[in-house]
Amino acid sequence: MNGDCVIICLYVDDMLIFGTCIDIVLRTKSFLASNFDMKDMGEASVILGVKIIRKRDNILLSQEHHVEKILKKFDYYDSKSVSTPYDANSQLRKNRGDLIAQRHIQLRHNMVKQLFKDGTISIDNVKLEGNLADPLIKPLGKK
């Protein structure tokens, strides 16, 4: 086996067929067309609200159409844009399993738990007239 493969993504009545070798993709499409009632719509440009943009060396996926649809639905389409605290140069990486942030959260939680156990810190629950719910345990009834 030479490692070539075809991937078929099917969602209700939409199908994407792609693979590592165009000849195998074409044979797969021919086989499916001879066994099922289907129509070749050509190269996909949008699927499930995700726009597919083909460049010379890569493929880009954009949810611009989906975002615009949501903005229009909730009447925010003409709102002004704002900056978000996102580093545009950041790269997506494979999940390493034990992320530093997860270890930090676990460490902080265990540290507070241990300080409480040792009596170094205490948790005081101050009830106010306006507080109808105790955030540490359960809702309280009105008196």
Q: What is the pLDDT of residue 6?
A: 92
Angstrom distances, CA of residue 130 to CA of 67, 137, 138, 143: 39, 16, 15, 11
Domain ranges of the chain: 1-42, 45-79
| CA 76, 79, 85, 90 torsion-angle sign | positive
Asked whether 39 and 30 are in contact (CB, 8 A), the reply is no
pTM of the model: 0.45
Q: What is the pLDDT of residue 126?
A: 62
Which of 122, 123, 121, 143 shows the shortest CA–CA distance to 132?
Answer: 143
Q: What is the pLDDT of residue 93?
A: 74
Q: What is the pLDDT of residue 8?
A: 92
Q: What is the pLDDT of residue 85?
A: 76
pLDDT in tens, the chain (143 residues): 578 899 998 888 888 998 999 999 999 999 999 998 888 888 888 888 888 898 888 888 999 888 888 889 998 888 888 887 777 787 777 766 655 555 555 555 677 777 778 888 776 666 666 655 555 555 545 55
